[in-house]
């Protein structure tokens, strides 16, 4: 008798993209190769000192050593609501329209459990962050893929969704600024999404993790800025990228009160909330000196410009992203996404992410994360210039 027989939901999981990349990296590194990792989107910049100090002070206070509230400390929810008002001019009731998350990934993964029944449909972009599909799968739902194509500015074509699918859909995931394509969305697109959601009774889940990582004066919108958005949707935000707090695991969801309440009900039965000392650090991040965000953007701007110039010198077609710390680049003629990324790793010790790893429409592209110093990026360009494509 097989005791540890895996559940069907685990059998349906695709291989986690970055786990496979880590395996291949280890193989090459074991041969003594100096790896330059431009694959995973984990900031190399440290958490700003004033945020660390706030966390340290809170950690030393025994008042924060007990179970936190699953929905978040009131002070953190107030800070999140005020940040939204200051940044997007969006009014939020911190008691009903904000919930803290153990990183936005956790909230996104749990949201389908609140609204998707077995057999229901979630509209999921592709290529995309894998958790949209995986959260749907764990809830027993079916993902319907919305291709993000260059000819449509990497926005889903809502008119291409069959009526029969749209009428079965319970949620739609969107993500702008976008990972992996670095595409951005305008107000007109969000208005189309709201109209679609109203027509078909779909809940919109907008992953807004990269709104503060934008270049050349561009200021990304919040979905909730658009009239009617709060009636149909929620937005997930993260402190991970904005404040270099990926390891702290803190984020929040905001928007429609029924959506937030239902997500909170799931969380209250699964987790015990965010460590209060981390929430205190989060309060400092959201309410304290924001010059650290501006400095971060300047650093990534310089890295972006350096890498784009070098890639173009090597013959790659590169469009400057308006936001995120990713470059989404076409592979040279004659290569597949996997073929190019394998060659870069084997021949140059460079780790990049194959576009098809995020979904089939990503074939023909690869993603570079700007999460290395300028010195390492210069070295990466030097290695590329020593190759022919």
> DSSP class of residue 235?
E
- Please return the burial class of 140, using the count of CB atoms within 10 Å of its CB with bins 0-12, 13-18 and 19+: middle
Report pLDDT for 229.
98
- Burial letters 109-123, b for 16+ CB under 10 A, else e: bbbbbbbbeeebbbb
pLDDT-above-90 percentage for the chain: 90
Domain ranges of the chain: 8-46+291-385, 49-287
Instruction: Report pLDDT for 17.
Output: 67
Is residue 47's pLDDT more than 80? yes
Average per-residue pLDDT for the chain: 95
Q: What is the pLDDT of residue 347?
A: 93
Angle formed by the axes of helices 17-29 and 337-348, nearest 10° = 30
pLDDT on residue 167: 94
Domain 49-287 has CATH 3.40.640.10: yes
State the average pLDDT over residues 347-362: 95
Residue with tokens 């971060």: 296
Tell me if domain 8-46+291-385 and domain 49-287 are identical in fold.
Answer: no
Whole-number Å distance between alpha carbons of 252 and 238: 6
DSSP state of 24: H
Report the C-alpha gap between 357 and 3 in whole angstroms: 32
Looking at domain 8-46+291-385, its CATH class is alpha beta
pLDDT digits (tens, 9 = 90+) for 123-170: 999 999 999 999 999 999 999 999 999 999 999 999 999 999 999 999
pLDDT on residue 19:
73
Q: Which residues contact 368 (CB under 8 A, 6 or more apart)?
A: 38, 307, 326, 327, 329, 352, 353
Q: In the predicted model, is pLDDT for residue 20 greater than 80?
A: no
What per-residue confidence (pLDDT) applies to 12?
A: 87
Q: Residues 187, 221: contact at Cβ < 8 Å?
A: yes
Residue 63 confidence (pLDDT): 95
Mean pLDDT value across residues 213-217: 97
Q: Is the peptide bond before 195 cis (omega within 30 degrees of 0)?
A: no
| 389 has a pLDDT exceeding 90 | no
pLDDT in tens, 74-90: 999 999 999 999 999 99
Region 357-380: what's the mean pLDDT?
96
């Amino acid at each position: 008798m097989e005791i540890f027989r895996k559940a069907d939901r685990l059998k349906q999981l695709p291989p986690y993209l970055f786990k496979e990349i880590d395996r291949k990296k280890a193989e090459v590194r074991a041969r003594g190769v100096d790896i330059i990792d431009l694959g995973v989107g984990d900031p190399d910049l440290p958490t700003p000192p004033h945020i660390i100090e706030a966390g340290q002070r809170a950690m030393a206070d025994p008042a924060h050593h007990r179970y936190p509230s699953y929905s978040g400390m009131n002070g953190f929810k107030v800070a999140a609501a005020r940040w939204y008002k200051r940044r997007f001019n969006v009014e939020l009731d911190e008691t009903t329209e904000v919930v803290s998350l153990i990183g936005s990934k956790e909230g996104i993964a749990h949201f389908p459990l609140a609204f998707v029944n077995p057999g229901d449909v979630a509209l999921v972009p592709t290529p995309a962050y894998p958790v949209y599909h995986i959260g749907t799968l764990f809830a027993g739902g079916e993902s319907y893929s919305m291709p993000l194509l260059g000819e449509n500015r990497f926005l889903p074509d809502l008119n291409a969704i069959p009526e029969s699918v749209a009428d079965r859909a319970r949620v739609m995931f969107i993500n702008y600024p976008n990972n992996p394509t670095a595409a951005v969305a305008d107000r007109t697109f969000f208005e189309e999404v709201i109209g679609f959601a109203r027509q078909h009774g779909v809940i919109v889940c907008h992953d807004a993790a990269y709104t503060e990582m934008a270049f050349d004066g561009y200021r990304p919108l919040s979905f909730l800025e658009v009239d009617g958005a709060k009636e149909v949707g929620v937005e997930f935000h993260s402190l991970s990228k904005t404040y270099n707090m990926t390891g702290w695991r803190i984020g929040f969801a905001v928007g429609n009160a029924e959506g937030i309440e239902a997500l909170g009900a799931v969380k209250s039965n699964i987790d015990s909330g965010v460590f209060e000392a981390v929430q205190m650090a989060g309060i400092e991040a959201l309410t304290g000196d924001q010059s650290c965000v501006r400095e971060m953007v300047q650093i990534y701007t310089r890295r972006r410009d350096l890498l784009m110039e070098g890639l173009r010198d090597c013959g790659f077609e590169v469009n400057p992203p308006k936001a995120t710390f990713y470059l989404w680049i076409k592979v040279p003629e004659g290569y597949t996404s996997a073929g190019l990324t394998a060659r870069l790793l084997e021949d140059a010790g460079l780790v990049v992410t194959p576009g098809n790893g995020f979904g089939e429409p990503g074939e023909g592209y690869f993603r570079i994360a700007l999460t290395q110093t300028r010195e390492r990026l210069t070295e990466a360009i030097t290695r590329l210039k020593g190759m022919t494509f």
